[in-house]
Each structure stands twice: as C-alpha cells, then as structure tokens.
Chains A and B, each alone.
Chain A
Amino acid sequence: MNVIIVDYNSGNISSVINSFKKVAKDKVNITVTADLNKIKSTDKVVLPGQGSFKSCIDALNKINGLTDTLNEFAITNKKPLLGICVGLQMFADIGYEETETKGLGWIAGKVSKINNQNGKYKLPHIGWNQIDIVKDSKIFKDIKNNSHMYFVHSYEFIPEDKNVISATTDYSSNIVCSVEKENIFGTQFHPEKSDKLGLKIIDNFISL
C-alpha cells in the first residue's frame, strides 16, 4: 500500500508527515511528493493545506498538471483522498478568503468566513472542540461521538448537499468539520495534532 502526501508548498506539512509515518510504521509506504506519475499510481492521496484558500489554490496551480492529476485520481478513478483543513476547503466550488477564488469543485459549495457574531466569538477558531458525528463515516471507525479534535481556522466549508456532512462542531453555529462523498474524505480539524484519537482517524484512512 502506498500513500502520497501531496507536497505543493502549501505551508507547514511536517506534522502531517510525522503523524502518518508514526501510524504507518512499516506496513504502509508514505511518500511526500508532487510528482504526477507517482500520484497517478499511488493507492491513496492526502491533500494538506495551510494558510489561505487562495494561497493553497495558487500553489496547486503553480505545479503544472497537478490539479488535472488530482481530478483524475479522485473523480475519474475514484481512489481514496483525504483533505485536511484548507485541503478539505479546496473541495468547494469557490472560496472567499482574500479574494473570490475558484476551488477544485469536487463537492458543490462555498468557503466563507465564520460568522463571529460581531466579535462575540474570537477568530481564528483555535483549540480543542468536540465533533458531533452526524453520519457514519469510514474514517470515524471506533471514534466516539463528542470526541475532541484540534481546530485552527477562520473559514468554513458550506456544502450544498448536506448529505456529504459527516460531522459538525459548535462554534457560533454548527460548522461543518468533516465530509465524506464516496471516495473523498475531508476534515476541517487537524487529525495530525489531535492526539491519539486523531492518529486513529489517520489509521482508519490508511486502513480503508
């Protein structure tokens, strides 16, 4: 089994790499690359993302053919892909951070700023919050409802089809924090920083 963590200069991904390597041990090969041929032939892809929606999309587009290759992997060939944080947000059609930016368009919807209710809620939403699991997701195997996960973000993904939502978290409103659509998975929180339960989610994805 081969898992690729896409390295497209989206900011700091060392924690993602460390956590996947820790979980994978010797049973799974973890490769960090943006090599198109390697992505085409791998079993699973992890799409991390830090910084802004726009900076991540720009970084993806800077690598010639990467978006097409990811499209082919996740949409045409329907192979498992996990997006983390902005990695998940990029599934949307459109994002509004910095400026209006076109997303990957894999899951219909938009990414907008969390409504902080005129300063009542601080942004970024930083820290440990509980997740409300609203549908069975393969990556939540053995994860109890209301488990704590580590969040850090100011923008939220609002999908059109609510059936893709697998978990929400309560911060000013019910924020979508996990999605599953066929072979496409995403978490707004950081499993790589969510202690043992986060590592379990990574394990669940690797074991799919």
Chain B
Amino acid sequence: MLKNRIIPCLDVKNGRVVKGINFVDLKDAGDPVEQAKIYSDGGADEICFLDITASNENRDIIYDVVEKTSKKCFVPLTVGGGIRSVEDINKLLNCGADKVSINTAAVENSKVVLDSSKKFGSQCIVVAIDAKKNGDSWEVFTHGGRNNSGIDALQYAKQMEKNGAGELLVTSMDRDGTQVGYDIDLMSKISSKVNIPIIASGGVGNLDHLVDGIKMGKASAVLAASIFHYGKHTVKEAKEYLDSKGIPVRI
C-alpha cells in the first residue's frame, strides 16, 4: 500500500536555515545540510528546501547546499524558490535535487512547465500554487505571495496537470504561518479536480492538522515547517501519531 508522506521544509536564505531545529547536539544550527540529515535519519519521507535568498549575487549558494545534501541524504530532495528557467532546473538537478518546485515562473510562462517536464520527466516537476481565498474561490499569487495574478487556483491546477506537472504543492496563504491548520476546503477541492498527487502546505500547528490534511484534504503528502522546528515534534512522533489515527505511513 502506498504511504502518505511527511515532508519537512527548510527555509534557506543565503545558504543558511532561517528557522530550524534547535538541537543541542547540532554543531551548526544554521547549516541546512546538517538539518536535512537529521530529518532524513529521523524518517522524513522527503526533504524540501525553499530558497528565500533575495539578492541575485547570493543565488548560487543554493547549488552548493543541494550538492552537499545529496551526498548525505538518500531520500528525495525537492528544491524550490527563485527558479526562472529550464536552465535553472537543469542546474539544480545536476547538483543532486530530485525534484524542483516552480512557482512564479509557472504562472508567468507556462512553457517552463511544458518544456521542463518534457525534458526531465514529470516526476521531477512540482508546481507550487500559493492560493488566497477571495469570496468562494481562490486566486493564485506569485513572487512569494506579493503579487495577485488573478488566476483561479482550481483552473490553474488543472492546467498545470495538463502541462506536465507531476505533483502540486498547494499552500494556503491565508493559513501560512498561522498554525491553525491547512485550508481543508482548498486542498480537497484541488485534489478532487486533478489526478496527480497534491502536497498540502501552510498552517500546520499540531499533529491533528497533518491528519486532517490527509483525511479531509485528500492530500497524498503533508509539508510542514514550524512544527518540526525548535524540536516541538519530531518526524517520528508525527508518523506514530498518523499511524495511530489509521493513516498509512512508512515507519
């Protein structure tokens, strides 16, 4: 039976983890490579890096981080943030990323998804959808949530599936950072609309939220950042909790 995945996400800025696990035995708490290794040793099903480096001159640091991580972690590694072109994707994959997550570029130029899924295969193309509620529907935002594209999130999800995305990483901007739980309505509507797996993101504050994302949100995988930071919960605890609620996980 296929298991639901738990994916810890690390925000990386200028090659350093912005929020991270606060473990005493960490030599360097800001080192994304060390943190990724802790997650994969702890049973994470995948690791996600979100590069939030703002300045262009520091953008290349992420390649070095990915290269070092891929030599130590042997679970899938997804990298997102700042990907503009097929060439950017090529570079990340060559450094050892297994998947890339494309956000703004997918909205601005749908050819990026078409071309990259043809070139590298759908299995490594994740389209990240940042969605914000507006009345009864959701709109897609770009540029780290700053710009409203005005595009309907459900239509967009369907379009990205057609363009060759292998998975959708759906983040509720209304919930992100609030710790009140995923936007279940958004997740389940998108999941029902497409035949590719969706990864739920944005708003996790406790382990029940992970359960809800899978059971009610119909997500194949759940992504979370802050509940794993500062040692609030380990990935192992999260998996045992999901298991106790009857959700199939890899233990």
Contact = CB atoms under 8 A, between A and B. Distances in A.
A106 interface: no
A126 B166 contact: yes
Classify chain A's interface size.
35 or more
Nearest to B1: A170
B232 interface: no
Say whether chain A's binding surface is mostly helix, strand, loop, or mixed: mixed
B71 A18 contact: yes
B11 interface: no
Given A122-B220, A195-B75, A199-B74, A12 B166 contact: no
B96 A15 contact: yes
Contacts of A122: 195-197, 220
B250 A50 contact: no
B13 interface: no
Contact of B93 (A12, A22, A123, A192): A12
A67 interface: no
Contact of A124 (B1, B122, B250): B122
A196 B42 CA distance: 12
Given A15-B98, A18-B71, A128-B3, A195 B93 contact: no
Given A14-B95, A129-B2, A193 B76 contact: yes
A192 B1 contact: no
A194 interface: yes
Interface of A: 11-12, 14-15, 18-19, 22, 50-52, 55, 116, 119, 122-130, 148, 150-154, 170-171, 192-196, 198-199
